[in-house]
Structure 1
Amino acid sequence: MIRHADDAPLMTLLRVGRIYAPEPLEQTDILIADGRIAALGRDHEVPEGWPVNLVEARELIAVPAFIDQHVHVTGGGGEGGCGTRCPEITAREIVAMGIGTVVGVLGTDGISRSPADLLAKVRGLRAEGVSAYMYTGAYRVPPPTLTGDLQRDLAWIPEVIGLGELAISDHRSSQPRQDEIARLVSDVRVGAMLAGKRGICHFHVGDGQRGLEPLRRLLSETEIPADQVIPTHVNRHRALLEEAVNYALTFDACVDVTAFEGAGEEGLSAFDAVVSLLDRGVPRERITLSSDCNGSLPEFDAKGTYLGMRVARNTALIADWQRLVHEEVLPLEEALGLISGHVARVLGLHDRKGCLAVGFDADVTLLNDALQPQCTFVGGRCLYDGR
């Protein structure tokens, strides 16, 4: 069931079987106070009369709550008309997968859905306890904004942490010129600096022939640092993934793999893509996973004519991640970074998320031995208990 965000006691003590912070710890107790981790230890005693909620979960594994940096929280789609708009995501659908933090995006449809609509949804999720952020903009150039200016969006709207998903190499994009891409990324960088944010530019990469070339040129021809530019959907097809290998190694850059449901003949599953990236020498710290959930998975023919669509879910994200551990591609402590610590670093949230440590946000997911999420705590609040 899902718990209301206001049902949190003053303090919570989690007693678990194991803690991966992401590295395995000897401690088995997590004391939470005021939404943060106050102490890690073993066999903590609770003084009589203290307002502490004791959670006994000795059979479960505590890990940092997962972070999904690409979620169509207001729903995506629309490529086949108004009847093909995807539904909004619910807080339950997020936390039931062990996800504590999401970043909302707009996609193809920046007309019937707007940054203001996205901001309202993000604030609604926050009211329900989910840690939610957003990218300003959408596929098109010039991007729609909240204040009429990218720098102001970054500087004045706390929930805005970057620009996205800006589309390149896709027949649905605005076909932006190279100088337009450079100007947008530069504006985001300055606005983020003024606000003390990372200022991510989250690029949707389609299956066009140009692939990652616009981003390669951006990093080669300007002073923009690679950690500000994140291409996603790099496993759309094998040739693009091969480009992503070269891009990551050449620029010491991060690439985001999408957990496509039913990847099809051209696309690769997130599992297959991560295996390939690792085999080709891309450091695991440069790889992240995201779901694209509640976005559309449209099908087009060779002429770009719409054929049909499915709605993406976040279940594939967790399933592919679990498979990486179960098939011993990565041990649990290293695999966690793909959906927690590495993502927190990419987003500039690594000083409070992606790790179970004193002073960090008390975003904790409890897993069973099959790595299936059983409970999700966000800011110390139990938002999901599926036991």
Structure 2
Amino acid sequence: MTSKAIRGSRIFDGETWHEASSLVLSEGRIEAIVADADIPAGAEVVDAGGGILVPGFIDLQVNGGGGVMLNDHPTVAGLRTICTAHARFGTTALLPTLITDTTETTAAVISAGQQAIKEKVPGFLGLHLEGPHLSLARKGAHDPSLIRPMDDTDLDLLLSCRDAFPAMMITVAPENVTESQVSRLADCGFIVSLGHTEASFGTARRYANAGARTVTHLYNAMSPLGHREPGMVGAALDTGGLHAGLIADGIHVHPAAMLVALRAKQGPGRIFVVTDAMSPIGTDLTSFTLNGREILRRNGRLTLADGTLAGADIDMISSVRFLHLTLGLPLEESLRMVSVYPAEASQVADRKGALEAGLDADFVLLTDDLQMKSTWIGGTCVYQA
């Protein structure tokens, strides 16, 4: 198959910049980054027309997009619509996320996800099941009538489908799952995330030792950092084995709190960006429903009638701009937070997250002022601004 070379832009590979260089790809994977003078003979050359070329964005928490909520459309068509909507904003791999729902809807989403893999839906990486095994005390916008403990039937359903997806995440609260259940899920390759929980620092540490790998939307819907009881927030920052998702919209977390967390986080686990996006992304919708309740879209906020935040109204490229332009993070680190770090957290860094030989040719072309130009998944342009 003929190689393709993308030239005419600065290239950030996830670690360093390359000037006067081209990205060479073939059969959906990256071959190399080479000097423009060393483009292979016979390669199809695509002129990027300036700007920057960066690794594709990876979003591990996406509830909806393009007018579709996964809860309402647990189908291949629903998954495809969500993936397509987020590709417009640079997301090349994502975990469509099911908010707490019935057992029947969960089973339908898993079945649809398995079919989406067979159909090779562009951008579909796997699923994130956010609930129903959460804490009532920290339910947020989740329907309390659907929250419950994990039982053997739930566990068996989950264990039966893990091999179907490149990545599979589940958010749970220690209040409604056991350490043994977490260990079984982790041993089978699940990314177990702690969230929507009142867990103490010590309890969170125990569950991390049992196999939990990430924390869902840091600061939100979890026990806060206190000076005598560090809570879930303290455990997320002080436990090196935990990665943590962060909604970078300036609404869910104050910018100063973001900077504190970024300075405090112990590695090797990193803080990565999630959008927690809902159905309005990519549309002009002003409201939608979740489990029969109306969610209002006003001034960048999504809320229930009582003001409770219900997901976020932000996309990935907007998150990058917020990190870089508002928080003042270096552009390189802002980009790593939406590519390298989520790839590491979801255990797909051997396939995605950077521009290295052998990895999937997932990348984004941006203008110098961080506006979208195009999105490429597996070496194919799926969105052109």
Q: Paired residue for 1:158, among 154, 165, 168?
A: 165
Report the counterpart of residue 251 of structure 1 in structure 2.
239
1:315 is aligned to 2:314? yes
1:94 is aligned to 2:65? no
> Secondary structure at 1:370's aligned position in 2?
coil
CA distance in 2 between counterparts of 1:284 and 1:229 reads: 11
- In the alignment, structure 1 segments of 5+ residues that lack a partner are 1-8, 169-174, 193-198, 300-304
CA distance in 1 between counterparts of 2:18 and 2:101 reads: 49
Report the counterpart of residue 192 of structure 2 in structure 1.
201
1:339-378 Cα offsets, whole Å, 9 max, x none, are 1111111111111211111111111111111112211111
- In the alignment, structure 2 segments of 5+ residues that lack a partner are 134-148, 280-289, 297-303
1:57 is aligned to 2:48? yes
CA distance in 1 between counterparts of 2:354 and 2:272 reads: 15
> Secondary structure at 2:210's aligned position in 1?
coil
CA distance in 1 between counterparts of 2:153 and 2:97 reads: 12
Q: CA deviation at 1:150?
A: 3.1
Question: CA distance change for structure 1 residues 289 and 77 in 2, over 3 Å: closer, same or farther?
Answer: same
CA distance in 1 between counterparts of 2:306 and 2:128 reads: 29
CA distance in 1 between counterparts of 2:113 and 2:313 reads: 18
Question: CA distance change for structure 1 residues 298 and 203 in 2, over 3 Å: closer, same or farther?
Answer: farther
Report the counterpart of residue 338 of structure 2 in structure 1.
339
CA distance in 1 between counterparts of 2:310 and 2:3 reads: 39
Moved more, 340-349 or 312-321: 312-321
TM-score by length of 2: 0.73
CA distance in 1 between counterparts of 2:84 and 2:25 reads: 22
CA distance in 2 between counterparts of 1:71 and 1:365 reads: 19
Moved more, 377-386 or 331-340: 331-340
Report the counterpart of residue 366 of structure 2 in structure 1.
367
Give the AA of the match of 1:162. M
Question: CA distance change for structure 1 residues 60 and 114 in 2, over 3 Å: closer, same or farther?
Answer: same
Give the AA of the match of 1:334. E
Q: CA deviation at 1:129?
A: 2.0
1:268 is aligned to 2:260? no
Written as runs of structure 1 = structure 2, the 5 A alignment for 1:74-85 is 75=69
TM-score by length of 1: 0.73
Written as runs of structure 1 = structure 2, the 5 A alignment for 1:219-230 is 219-220=205-206, 223-225=209-211, 228-230=212-214
Moved more, 132-141 or 67-76: 132-141
Q: Paired residue for 1:217, among 196, 203, 213?
A: 203
> Secondary structure at 1:97's aligned position in 2?
coil
Report the counterpart of residue 139 of structure 1 in structure 2.
132
Question: CA distance change for structure 1 residues 309 and 334 in 2, over 3 Å: closer, same or farther?
Answer: closer
1:40 is aligned to 2:24? no
CA distance in 1 between counterparts of 2:372 and 2:86 reads: 11
1:146-200 Cα offsets, whole Å, 9 max, x none, are 994433322x3234x33413356xxxxxx51xxx3312211112222xxxxxx21
Computed over aligned residues only, the root mean square deviation of the Cα atoms, in angstroms, reads 3.6
CA distance in 1 between counterparts of 2:207 and 2:9 reads: 51
